[in-house]
Amino acid sequence: MSEDASRELGPEARFRAYLAEGKFMIQRSRSTGAYVFYPRAAAPRTGESDLEWVEASGDGVVYATTCTRRPAEKGGDYNVALIDLAEGPRMMSRVEGLPPAKVKIGMRVRARIVALQGQPAVIFEPA
Partner 1 sequence: MAHSLRGKVACVGLATAGCGEAPGWNAMELMAEATRKALADAQIPLSEVDGLFAATAFHSMAAVSLAEHLGIQPSYSDGSNIGGSSFIAHVLTAAMALEMGLCNVAVIAYGSNQRSAGGFRSISEPMPFEAIYEPRNPITAYALAASRYMHEFGATREHLAEVAVAARAWARLNPEAFRRDPITVADVLSARMISDPFGKLDCCLVTDGAAAIVLTRPDRAKDGPKTPVYLLGAAMEHHHRMISAMPDLTLTAAARSGPRAFEMAGYAPKDMHTVQLYDAFTINTILFLEDLGFCKKGEGKDFAGGGRIAPGGSLPVNTNGGGLSCVHPGMYGLFVTIEAIRQIRAAAGGDEGPREAGGWIPDVKLSLAHGNGGVLSTQVTSIWGAAETL
Stretch that binds partner 1, among 2-10, 26-34, 50-58, 65-73 (CB under 8 A): 65-73
Q: Assess 94 for contact with partner 1 (CB under 8 A).
A: yes
Question: Are 33 and 14 spatial neighbours (Cβ–Cβ below 8 Å)?
Answer: no
Q: With CA atoms as reference, report the closest residue to 116 among 19, 32, 12.
A: 19
Q: Which stretch binds partner 1 (CB under 8 A): 2-10, 20-28, 49-57, 63-71?
A: 63-71
Q: How far apart are alpha carbons 84 and 38 in whole angstroms?
A: 12
Q: Rounded to whole angstroms, how far apart are CA atoms 122 and 11?
A: 16
For residue 126, the minimal CB distance to partner 1 (Å) is 17
Residue 28 vs 107, nearer CB to partner 1: 107
Alpha helices (H) along 69-119: none
Which residues of this chain interact with partner 1, rule CB under 8 A? 12, 37-38, 63-69, 78, 80-82, 90-94, 101, 105-106, 116-117, 119, 121
